[in-house]
Amino acid sequence: LREEELIMTEINSHPDDSLWRTVPLPWWAAGILLGLVQVLAIALVKPMSVSEPFVVVDTKVLNRIAPEYSENHPLLSDEQYKKFGYGGWFNIGIILGACFAALHLRTWKIRTVSGWWQRNHNAPVLLRLIGGFCGGVFLLLGAGLAYGCITGQFISGWTQLSLSAIPFTITLFAFGMLVAYLVYPKKPNRFSQEE
Amino acid sequence: MSNPIVGLIMGVIFGASLVLTGLTNPDKIIGALRLKDFYAIRTVAVFLLVGILGTWILDLFGAAHFDIMPAVILPLLIGGAFLGIGLGLTGFSPATGLASAASGRIDAVITVIGMIFGAHVYILIYPSIVVPLERILNFGSVTLPQITGASAAFWVIPIFAAGSLALFITRSKEPRDEKQHIKAGDSGLSEEFPDPMSSKPIAIQKSLYLKSDCLKAACVFRRWKNLLFMVMLLCLLLNQASFWLVSTGQIEITDNTNNAAPAKESSNPQIFGYDVTFERLTSVLRIANIVLIFTSLLYCLIMYFGMGVSFKGQLGGLGHIGGALFMSLIIFVLLVPWQNFFGAIAMGATFTPNELARWCTTDISDTFGMALFYLRFSGYWTLVLLLLLLAQLRSFRWARIILR
């Protein structure tokens, strides 16, 4: 037993091996934490959703710069998309909370590429940024079409056992896995060098 | 309570938990989509299970604020595909994108800017594309319990149980990796510093003791497993025999409630000079059912412990015992009389005497009804029997491998 303890301390003190336990929480604790946040949100206001304020921001801009166009537009004239209320502050809260948590955990660091990208594309930063931009366009376009993003439709939909979550989940994972396979064919040697 | 302050506080909590859970790391998401890193999958699975259960409990107390999206199939399919493309390309979902951007990822910042443009594209295409799509295949804002007409408990409890069980069974992956890691470090150390007093011989001796101990345990387990198998087989045969006796009219069905004496007592078959009436059969069937369910549970546990022993002592045959464990679990699930809990929606392979009497007394004239009748009582039973034989065969192979 003493030998094992020695080895354990050796491993724990070794800087390379400490990277093995990179994520702060084990999966079950992480899932329970997020699940409780969702339950709290449902108890207080409504299930969490993230994508709507993006549409609200654009609606506000379009209402300002093209009032004639937006008057006849079925979405822009909708009262729901005119006020930057709970949802908008929720997103600002996400930014603040994430920033605070990252600073507190000392993981706040300027980064541009991920481990999988580095392994597969030899780290051209510009391409990653362009890919990120295109991916962002797809993300919000899809979220708009599907009445909610991954939080708003996949998580909240399943949480409420909504019928809408089923077709969404099927294509989400089918296309997600296909695109991930095409873009990131090679596996990095060690997962998650950071965070 | 949908005021900005509550929104801000909820957002802070959610953003902080996203960073705490590490889902803001795009490597985790890509690893999950490539099925190489199961952290994110397991986290999201627990997230969903806790959410489903918590929402159901809230709803029981009338405290849940639902916001159900309309089930319009085509936009959901297309939107899901677009979100999948975005997720696979970047490794961010809108929520984790925001959180990642806040924790210093430049690519996430660019993704968030892309998302604002995406919202713009959505607004532009909305009148010409989205509005026509919303008119077809629109099922409205409904939930699964509403469609099926079952209570929410019928959906929530099985989903929660199955999900937790699946997570529980597959959980041991990470600790095992750690153990292997320690072992690798162990051998590395003793190679680097060849020491006469090194721990190597002790370790070998220890592992030998462990191995012989585990072998003994495996022998005991095998004996009990075979005994349980025989008991289960006997109970299953009793079960089926009683079905055939009743369905072919060998035994007259009597109503237990009004104690009417069976008119054709003499027509009942006699076994060893013992009159077999439906009442006696009923008690036999009940005992057989109870014994069957308990023994199948014990059978699962024996398989599980057998696997544990086989793993701990590094005896081999893990594939066989794993398959046997899985099959015995399926047998257990199939045997539980679900019809007593959920009505006619779910059925177990075991049947109560009352159910048998009800099925046999109702007139079945059409072919479909007959097929259903025999499938329910005989087909289901055959399936369980087959699974049991397969499980026994696989565990037999396991025993042969480790005791060789």
Q: What is the DSSP letter of B59?
A: H
Give the per-residue pLDDT at B176.
42
Over residues B338-361, the mean pLDDT reads: 77
Are B96 and B20 in contact by the 8 Å Cβ rule? The answer is no
Whole-number pLDDT of residue B278: 76
Task: Calculate the average pLDDT of chain B.
Answer: 80
Specify the pLDDT at position B182: 41
pLDDT at B401 over 90: no
Whole-model pTM above 0.80? no
Structure tokens at A176: 């997600």
- SS3 assignment, position B270: strand
Supply the pLDDT for residue B77.
92
On the question of pLDDT at A77 being above 60, the answer is yes
Helices (H), B264-352: 278-312, 318-335, 339-342
Q: Tell me the per-residue pLDDT of B220-265, one tens digit each, with 9 for 90 and over.
A: 888 888 889 989 999 998 888 888 888 777 777 665 444 444 444 4
Evaluate whether B365 touches B372 at the Cβ level (below 8 Å).
no
B276 three-state secondary structure = coil
ipTM associated with this complex: 0.84
* pLDDT score, position A80: 74
Residue numbers in A near B131 (CB within 8 A): 74
pLDDT at position A117, please?
Answer: 82
> pLDDT tens digit string along A24-33?
678 888 889 8
Residues recorded for chain B: 404
Cα B383 to Cα A96: distance, rounded to the nearest angstrom: 56
CA–CA distance, B44 with A30 (Å, rounded to integer)? 9
Max avg pLDDT among A63-67, B37-41, B78-82 = B78-82
Pairwise CA distance, residues B278 & B269, whole Å: 11
pLDDT in tens, B132-190: 888 888 888 888 888 888 788 888 888 888 888 888 888 755 444 444 444 443 433 43
Report in angstroms the alpha-carbon separations of B145 from A50, A101, A161, B164. Answer: 26, 38, 8, 21
CB-based contact, A120 to chain B, within 8 Å: no
| Contact (CB<8Å) A149/B110 | no
CB burial of residue A60 (10 Å; 0-12, 13-18, 19+): middle
Q: Which of A183, A26, A175 is nearest to A114 (CA)?
A: A183
The minimal CB distance from B118 to the residues A23, A129, A141 is found for A141
Query: Looking at beta carbons, which residues of chain A come within 8 Å of B64?
Result: 42-43
Question: With contacts defined as CB-CB under 8 Å, which chain B residues touch A88?
Answer: 4, 7
Q: What is the pLDDT of residue A55?
A: 87
**Model confidence at A152: pLDDT above 60:** yes
B49 pLDDT band, cuts 50/70/90, is very high
Query: Angle B200-247/B380-402 helices, nearest 10 degrees?
Result: 160
Amino acid sitting at position A39: V
pLDDT for the residue B180: 42
Coil, strand or helix at B71: coil
| CB-CB under 8 Å, A111 with B95 | no
Query: By the 8 A CB rule, do B367 and B179 touch?
Result: no
- Chain B, nearest residue to A129 by Cα: B107
Helix (H, G, I), strand (E, B) or coil at B271: strand
- Asked if pLDDT for residue A123 goes beyond 80, the answer is no
**Which chain B residues are within 8 Å of A40, Cβ to Cβ?**
10, 13
Give the A window 81-110 contacts with B, CB below 8 Å: 85-102, 105, 107-110
- A interface mutation test: which of B9, B27, B133, B199 has the most A CBs within 10 A? B27
Using the predicted structure, report yes or no on whether residue A187 has a pLDDT greater than 60: yes
Residues of chain B positioned with their CB less than 8 A from the CB of A93: 7-15
Question: What is the length of chain A?
Answer: 195
Contact B152, B145 (CB under 8 A): yes
> In chain B, which residues have their Cβ closer than 8 Å to the Cβ of A105?
19-20
DSSP per position, A30-63: HHHHHHHHHHHHHHHTS----SHHHHHHHHHHHH
| B192 pLDDT more than 70 | no
Whether pLDDT at A15 is above 60: no
Q: Which of A98, A103, A125 is closest to A114 using CA atoms?
A: A125
Q: CB distance B83–A42 less than 8 Å?
A: no
pLDDT-wise least confident of A84-98, A121-135, B94-108: A121-135
Minimal CA separation from B143 to chain A, in Å: 4
| Residue-wise pLDDT tens digits, B57-81 | 888 888 888 888 888 888 899 999 9
The pLDDT of residue A58 is 85
* pLDDT score, position A138: 93
CB atoms closer than 10 angstroms to residue A103 = 14
B264: burial class by Cβ within 10 Å (0-12, 13-18, 19+)? exposed
Could you count the other beta carbons within 10 Å of the beta carbon of residue B38?
A: 16
Check B144 against A163: CB less than 8 A apart: yes
Higher pLDDT, A107 or B235: B235
Chain A hits for B118, Cβ within 8 Å: 54, 136-144
HSE, side-chain direction, 13 A CA sphere, residue B388 = 30
Cβ–Cβ contact A123 with B under 8 A: no
Greater pLDDT, B362 or B203: B362
B152 and A161 within 8 Å at the Cβ level: the answer is yes
